[in-house]
Amino acid sequence: MTCFSCFVGKGPVRASQEVDEEVSSIQNVRIFSYKELRAATQDFSPDCKIGEGGFGSVYKGTLKGGEAAAIKVLSAESRQGVREFLTEINVISDIEHENLVKLHGCCVEGAHRILVYGYLENNSLDKTLLGSNDNNIQFNWKVRTNICIGVARGLAYLHEEVRPHIVHRDIKASNILLDNNINPKISDFGLAKLLPPNMTHVSTRVAGTIGYLAPEYAVRGQLTRKADIYSFGVLLLEIVSGRNNRSSKLLHEEQYLLEKTWELHERGELAELIDSSLNGDYSVDEGCRFLKIGLLCTQDSPKLRPAMSSVVKMLSGKISVDEEKITKPGLISDFMDLKVRGPPKAIDMKTSSSSGSSALSPLNNTSLTSGSTTSYPSMTVTGISERSN
């Protein structure tokens, strides 16, 4: 290995030794050489490229044993030094859950930062349920409930069982992958921000997807587990309705799924939102219950959103949904119109796609819009020091 910029002043030999020591301390993932991954992807051929996101490009590769892999090459813009990279790898190498994508290996050679995951043939929810569904998966109500509960369990594990707690920051349909049995697995938590146990939130550069972003995160940069819960609530509405959180093909008043859901809830007509392609083969009461849970998760005040462990119990029918606790959600139209004063700081926001968007990889970080680009007002991310419950 060569000298890394984060070891400036220590000399090449000492730097290499320290990196070797840190790499050798990683027990649960395989360390790949850059040469191996080049061979697996035909020298990172464009033909093997299956997606590109804010953190880098993803390639489908074939490892020496014939195993297919999703190989994520982090971009230089990720600005991760070797220590930070290996620290995160050490944290996530121990994480194993049936509803989380498993990290199999990494490469930290020279300036290269590469993650290696298992490849899932059934792709992501936004390519299947919300997209063209080239896999011809039958998303009946039983399959959808299994996906909703599985994602909730995976997120509850990250939020409440992993130490330190992990906030995903970008829960969305393209980050929910499906295995051969159509079981959901959350991807892209390998670069998530970690919450130290003595903190309830951190302020950070906003990274996420418009449509899924909680208002307090999008406007103030305030990141808590409750921001993930908001995103999950939007995803839940998408799964039940079978439509993307925003569709420019619809009339203006119909475009935003969360706004439409709230409107129907106030009228007592939530059943209208359940995907018509189910052809009535579902429980109306259960479908409406899932939609109400989505509204609970997307409430404007983070304090009112339930913990993910409670969401799992509500989805599973182990505890009831208290409809009286449902208040108006944090609607995208409310915070997009805000006039934020002062020079905007760097922000990393992606616009959510409508159905029929361009191809997305199993480990993609962005949704790419088809057609015209949507403009959003400048938003300033401010430092917040007080704690949030």
HEC string for 285-339: HHHHHHHHHHHHHCECCHHHCCCHHHHHHHHHCCCCCCHHHCCCECCHHHHHCCC
> What does the alpha-carbon distance between residue 357 and residue 377 come to, in Å, rounded to a whole number?
23
> What does the alpha-carbon distance between residue 356 and residue 266 come to, in Å, rounded to a whole number?
31
43 tagged catalytic = no
Residues near 60 by Cβ (< 8 Å), separated by ≥ 6? 41, 48, 50, 68, 69, 70, 71, 119
Burial class (CB in 10 A: 0-12, 13-18, 19+), 386: exposed
Q: Using alpha carbons, select from 168, 189, 178 the residue that is nearest to residue 146.
A: 178
Strands (E), the chain: 30-31, 49-53, 56-62, 68-74, 103-109, 112-118, 165-167, 176-178, 184-186, 193-195, 202-203, 207-210, 222-223, 348-351
Query: If you ran DSSP here, which 8-state letter would residue 54 be given?
Result: T
Q: Which two tokens stand for residue 131?
A: 């997209």
Q: Which residues, in sequence order, are bridge partners of residue 62?
A: 68
Q: Do 170 and 208 contact (CB within 8 A), yes or no? A: yes
Q: Do 41 and 48 contact (CB within 8 A), yes or no? A: yes
Q: Do 146 and 315 contact (CB within 8 A), yes or no? A: no
72 marked as part of a ligand binding site: yes
Residue type, 108: V
> What does the alpha-carbon distance between residue 220 and residue 222 come to, in Å, rounded to a whole number?
5
Q: Do 88 and 190 contact (CB within 8 A), yes or no? A: yes
Q: Which residues, in sequence order, are bridge partners of residue 60?
A: 70
Choosing from 47, 94, 134, 170, the catalytic residue is 170
Q: At what angle do helices 284-297 and 225-241 cross, to 10 degrees?
A: 150
Known catalytic residues? 170
Binding residues for ATP: 72
